[in-house]
């Protein structure tokens, strides 16, 4: 069957950035200029195509990553517009896992902000080539050169400037293309083509220097360009483009463009850069999977005639169509009605309908090719991170890892009718969002939901009412504390029961040691001479892991512990899996008690932008919250405070900072690390934890 689109002409890209940098506004202009929409949506008016959820339009922010497919010239461009708020970082994570390139939108006034750094690190993790678009060049305080320096300093990247702004702030008119050495002036009318104008006399020398710097920077990673540059030979625009594409795809450098999406300036040139410099699926390194039968690595080349393999990266409950599973097809083709294997769960699934998504609208298709971003209806057993493949060749791709939730609230239905709907609503939303967890606390008989922040849980609760019609009562937010040990403890776990007939006997000796923060749990089996049969090693480890769910201080989960099983004994008749599981559990409890346990709390990285006149009040408030200020930057009577603060001290902070600054400051937070809670505070938390138990 012929391809619907040549593979080399496909671009799969994410639009990523800090909140309010202009991602959705940029995406809306891209859809307009590519002919996907006939009217430009506006974030402030709640008329955007990509932010289609009620909560997104009410708040003016992106909450869910939205996918769309469009064309620019002869190229097909699959776009995912991602959220900028840290509470929805999982949406960025899963998008970057399956895409080939990224457009990083930066605010020309604020430069590189906290969440810009986070999404940049996520893109680094998945080796995603990027281009930068410095947006909002028309805003007061816009500074192109400063933003370039911040890309170098904060993102540790090598920017290659390919455009200079024509004017700035209220006098921003357009762009100067360094490849062609032409200046283009845009009008605010989106339907009017830009006019070529003469480069201002005052900028001719700067343009020459910037063009030389661009070619020199490309030449540092491209021998052909460097030889021509050193020889003083003429380098054609096609050669410069080819060299720039090579260094971008290789993740050595980042082309930088500029414009103003809101004023319709520079977006067409951005689209040209997407197709010119970002990779097609053919340009990406060959993907490897694991053979389910023999655990060997298997290459999955991007070819239609190779066995089918795809990764499920998103699950959505559509009110009209039911359960939609988004896939990235890495190899092979897929047709409606085909039977495929979910190799992650070893279950066969039948393909119901295949659709191309355009935000919340769908275009039905009969088949999908390699390199496609599609959604499937009819998959009942497939979840985020699962591999789908040909039943004849079962292979598994690396799944997607997500951060653990840091905040929890108790929730209960208001009426009996709500009780029946609550469980179904929570199940569907936890299917959609891997960072949203639902647990039942046996001790307090409460349903507990956990997420990445107050806004995350606020949106979940709002969706329960608007989408699922569930009224619920919500408790106060609770921090996801953890416990760990601070010194080694060599302990014994002995489980012996006699009840007539066969008894139970399990005996282990385990050395528990603290690990570095963030290491989780490590189990080492150091049994010699078969003093414990191998069949009882696994149950012992399982017992230790199970007991780690509740620590000895206040019942919070234990983390960062190494357990070395080095001795013990067994009984020929009475020993069993259960006995050794219980022995492992008892050993952990004793080890936690003797290992000088401490309480850990999540510490958030905080960035506050405030007018200078409110700086003292904000610093005083942060000190009262156990905050630590790392540094303060001052520019144009605006201050940016970088620091750290315990999550427990941040509840309701948005209201406080508004009242301290007459609503003129804003801030962003992201999880940074777990740290030990100071003594007096820890005692208070422990007493509360035991009281709740």
Best-predicted range by mean pLDDT (44-58, 277-291, 656-670): 277-291
**If 0-12 CB within 10 Å is exposed, 13-18 middle and 19+ buried, where does residue 436 land?**
buried
**Beta strand 75-81 pairing with 130-135:** unpaired
Cβ neighbors of 519 (< 8 A, separation 6 or more) are 560
List the beta strands (DSSP E) in 301-352. Answer: 309-318, 322-331, 334-335, 339-342, 347-350
Structure letter (DSSP) for residue 198: P
Mean pLDDT estimate for the chain: 86
Q: Are 589 and 552 in contact (CB under 8 A)?
A: yes
Q: Which of 145-154, 533-542, 546-555 has the lowest mean pLDDT?
A: 546-555
Cα dihedral 350, 356, 362, 365 sign: negative
Under DSSP, is residue 678 helix (H, G, I), strand (E, B) or coil?
coil
Residue written as token pair 């230790």:
544
Residue 227 pLDDT exceeds 60: yes
Residue 47 pLDDT exceeds 60: no
Residue written as token pair 């932008």:
609
CA distance 432 to 314: 7
CA distance 311 to 296: 19
Tokens of 403: 């951060």
Task: Please state at what angle helix 114-125 crosses helix 144-155, rounded to 10 degrees.
Answer: 50
Q: How many Å from the N-terminal Cα to the C-terminal Cα in the chain?
A: 63
What are the pLDDT digits (tens) for 592-608?
Answer: 999 999 999 989 888 88
Residue 184 pLDDT exceeds 60: yes
pLDDT at 630: 92
Residue 58 pLDDT exceeds 80: no
Residue 38 pLDDT exceeds 70: no
Work out the average pLDDT over 664-681: 82
Under DSSP, is residue 604 helix (H, G, I), strand (E, B) or coil?
strand
| Local confidence band at 647 (pLDDT 50, 70, 90 cut-offs) | confident
What are the pLDDT digits (tens) for 68-93?
Answer: 888 898 999 998 888 766 667 778 88
Closest alpha carbon to 389 in 347, 444, 352, 448:
347
Tokens of 408: 């929890």
Of the CA atoms within 13 Å of residue 224, those in its CB half-sphere come to 11
Helix runs in 165-236, H state only = 204-219, 223-231
**Beta strand 101-107 pairing with 130-135:** parallel
Residue with more model confidence, 651 or 78: 78
In this prediction the pTM is 0.74
What are the pLDDT digits (tens) for 438-480?
Answer: 887 665 567 888 887 778 888 888 888 888 888 888 887 778 8
């Amino acid at each position: 069957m012929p391809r619907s689109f040549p593979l080399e002409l496909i671009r799969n890209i994410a639009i990523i950035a800090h909140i309010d940098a202009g991602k959705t506004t940029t995406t809306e202009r891209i859809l307009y200029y590519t002919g996907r929409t006939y009217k430009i949506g506006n974030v402030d008016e709640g008329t955007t195509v990509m932010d289609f959820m009620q909560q997104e339009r009410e708040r003016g922010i992106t909450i869910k990553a939205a996918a769309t497919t469009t064309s620019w010239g002869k190229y097909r461009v699959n776009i995912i517009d991602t959220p900028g708020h840290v509470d929805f970082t999982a949406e960025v994570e899963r998008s970057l896992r399956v895409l080939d390139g990224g457009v990083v939108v930066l605010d020309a006034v604020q430069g590189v902000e906290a969440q810009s750094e986070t999404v940049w690190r996520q893109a680094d993790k998945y080796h995603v080539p990027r281009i930068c678009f410095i947006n909002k060049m028309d805003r007061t305080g816009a500074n192109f050169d400063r933003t370039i320096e911040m890309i170098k300093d904060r993102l540790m990247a090598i920017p290659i400037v390919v455009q200079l702004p024509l004017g700035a702030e209220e006098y921003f008119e357009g762009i100067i293309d360094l490849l062609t050495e032409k200046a283009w002036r845009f009008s605010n009318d989106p339907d009017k083509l830009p006019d070529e104008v003469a480069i201002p006399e005052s900028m001719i020398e700067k343009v020459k220097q910037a063009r030389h710097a661009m070619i020199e920077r490309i030449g540092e990673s491209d021998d052909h360009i460097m030889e021509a540059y050193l020889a003083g030979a003429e380098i054609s625009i096609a050669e410069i483009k080819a060299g720039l594409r090579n260094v971008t795809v290789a993740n050595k450098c980042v082309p930088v463009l500029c414009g103003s999406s809101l004023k319709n300036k520079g977006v067409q040139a951005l689209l040209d850069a997407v197709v010119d410099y970002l990779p097609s699926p053919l340009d990406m390194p060959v993907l490897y999977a694991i053979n389910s039968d023999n655990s060997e690595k298997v290459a999955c080349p991007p070819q239609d005639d190779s066995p089918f393999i795809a990764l499920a990266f998103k699950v959505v409950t559509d009110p009209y169509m039911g359960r939609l599973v988004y896939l990235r097809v890495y190899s092979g083709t897929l047709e409606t009605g085909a039977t495929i294997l979910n190799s992650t769960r070893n279950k066969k699934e039948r393909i119901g309908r295949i659709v191309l998504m355009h935000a919340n609208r769908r275009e039905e298709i009969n088949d999908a090719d390699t390199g496609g971003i599609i959604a499937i209806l009819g998959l009942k057993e497939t979840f985020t991170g699962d591999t789908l493949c040909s039943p004849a060749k079962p292979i598994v791709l690396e799944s997607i890892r997500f951060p653990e939730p840091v905040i929890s609230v108790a929730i209960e239905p208001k009426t009996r009718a709500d009780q029946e709907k609550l469980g179904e609503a929570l199940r569907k939303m936890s299917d959609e969002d891997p960072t949203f967890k639902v647990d039942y606390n046996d001790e307090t008989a409460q349903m507990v939901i956990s997420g990445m922040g107050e806004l995350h849980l606020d949106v979940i609760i709002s969706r329960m009412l608007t989408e699922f019609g569930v009224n619920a009562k919500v408790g106060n937010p609770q921090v996801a504390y953890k416990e760990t040990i601070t010194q080694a403890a060599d302990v014994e776990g002995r489980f012996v029961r006699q009840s007539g007939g066969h008894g139970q006997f399990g005996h282990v000796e385990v050395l528990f040691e603290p690990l570095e923060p963030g290491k989780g749990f490590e189990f080492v089996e150091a049994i010699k001479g078969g003093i414990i049969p191998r069949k009882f090693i696994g149950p012992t480890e399982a017992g230790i892991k199970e007991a780690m769910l509740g620590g000895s201080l206040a019942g919070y989960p234990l983390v960062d512990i190494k357990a070395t099983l080095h001795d013990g004994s067994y009984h020929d008749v009475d020993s069993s899996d259960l006995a050794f599981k219980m022995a492992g559990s008892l050993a952990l409890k004793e080890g936690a008690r003797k290992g000088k346990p401490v309480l850990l709390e999540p510490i958030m990285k905080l960035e506050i932008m405030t007018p200078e006149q409110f700086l003292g009040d904000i610093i005083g408030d942060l000190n009262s919250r156990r905050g630590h200020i790392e540094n303060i930057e001052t520019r144009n009577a605006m201050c940016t405070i970088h620091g750290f603060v315990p999550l427990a001290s941040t509840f309701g902070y948005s209201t406080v900072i508004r009242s301290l600054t007459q609503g003129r400051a804003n801030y962003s937070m992201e999880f940074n690390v777990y740290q030990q809670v100071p003594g007096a505070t820890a005692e208070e938390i422990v007493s509360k934890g035991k009281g709740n138990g």
